[in-house]
Amino acid sequence: MTPVFTGFYLLTGATGAIGKEIARDLASKGEKLILAVRNMDKANELREELLRDYPQCQTIETLKLDLADEQSVRDAVETLDCRHIGGLKGVINNAGVMSRRYGVDSQGRELTMAVNYCNTRLLVERLKDRVETGGVIVFTTSLTRFLHRRKDYPIRFEAKRFSQLGTYGQSKRMITEYARQLAVELKGRVRVNCADPGIVDTGMISMQRWYDPIADALFRPFIRSPRQGAEPALRATYAEASGKIYCRRRIHEI
């Protein structure tokens, strides 16, 4: 009989600034990892780096996952089946994007919404039954979710309704609302938490506007490093609690 492999943490956006720090911490603890990312060259480079730096970490898989493409999510889940990966210890949804301009995914949905909400939700819906009892699902939220009060929002909308920060904030609000519902659904079996990294010195905070160099000079020295930005996600992963948002210092109910 073919053995089924269990006990992996699946981490999305592992090749990003905060994602790398999450991966390094998990690897330092000898956890088994699946780096679920869109760029396989970057994934293989990171895999080698982690295996070199953390010999205690013996199993690191890479998995192609483009969250701008619904079919890629389905293919990624199928690939886990082909590789006989059964139970997951955790799913850490760290990948995210804040598109500068209006664009659509393969399904005609606005891109930021598709990556941060629709396809992240689809991935979790497909994986939630694989998460082992006592395991965890973590979502990455943002302070920008407070820019909106609506819990739902059209995911197919015209360019004129798009704004870089506004649409991003709405996507984070919706994924946080989904996390709240999932925490209720999986209560007692799987922990569901959110992480709010704060403002972190990564490519994500660039608005790709003329004032970026001025903002960089004024603010970047005072904001959090990617390592500090990873701390809420790590606390959300290792905590015994469920239904919480882990922030820089505080912990809130979702």
Identity (one letter) of the amino acid at 63? L
Pick the closest to residue 172 from 144, 212, 149, 134 (CA basis): 144
Considering only 61, 66, 70, 110, the residue that binds ligand NAP (CB under 6 A) is: 66
Considering only 73, 91, 200, 234, the residue that binds ligand NAP (CB under 6 A) is: 200
Q: Which of residues 115-154 bind ligand NAP (CB under 6 A)?
A: 115, 140, 142
Residue that has been written with the tokens 């480079």 in this structure: 45
Residue 68 in contact with ligand NAP, rule: CB under 6 A = yes
Residue (190 or 230) nearer to ligand NAP, CB: 230
Considering only 108, 203, 213, 221, the residue that binds ligand NAP (CB under 6 A) is: 203
Using an 8 Å Cβ cutoff, are 214 and 159 in contact?
A: no
Q: Which of residues 158-177 bind ligand NAP (CB under 6 A)?
A: none
Q: Report phi then psi at 252, rounded to 5.
A: -115, 160
Report in angstroms how near the CB of residue 27 gets to ligand NAP at its nearest.
16
Considering only 8, 9, 13, 63, the residue that binds ligand NAP (CB under 6 A) is: 13
Report in angstroms how near the CB of residue 230 gets to ligand NAP at its nearest.
8
CA distances from 110 to 66, 76, 99, 162, 206 (A): 15, 22, 9, 9, 20
Pick the closest to residue 176 from 206, 204, 147, 207 (CA basis): 147
Number of residues counted as binding ligand NAP (CB under 6 A): 28
Site map (CB under 6 A) of ligand NAP, residues 42-61, x = contact: x-------------------
Residue 63 in contact with ligand NAP, rule: CB under 6 A = no
With DSSP H G I counted as helix, E B as strand and the rest as coil, what are the percentages for the chain, rounded to 5?
45, 20, 35
Using an 8 Å Cβ cutoff, are 123 and 78 in contact?
A: no
Site residues for ligand NAP per CB under 6 A: 13, 15-19, 37-39, 42, 65-68, 94-97, 115, 140, 142, 197, 199-200, 202-205
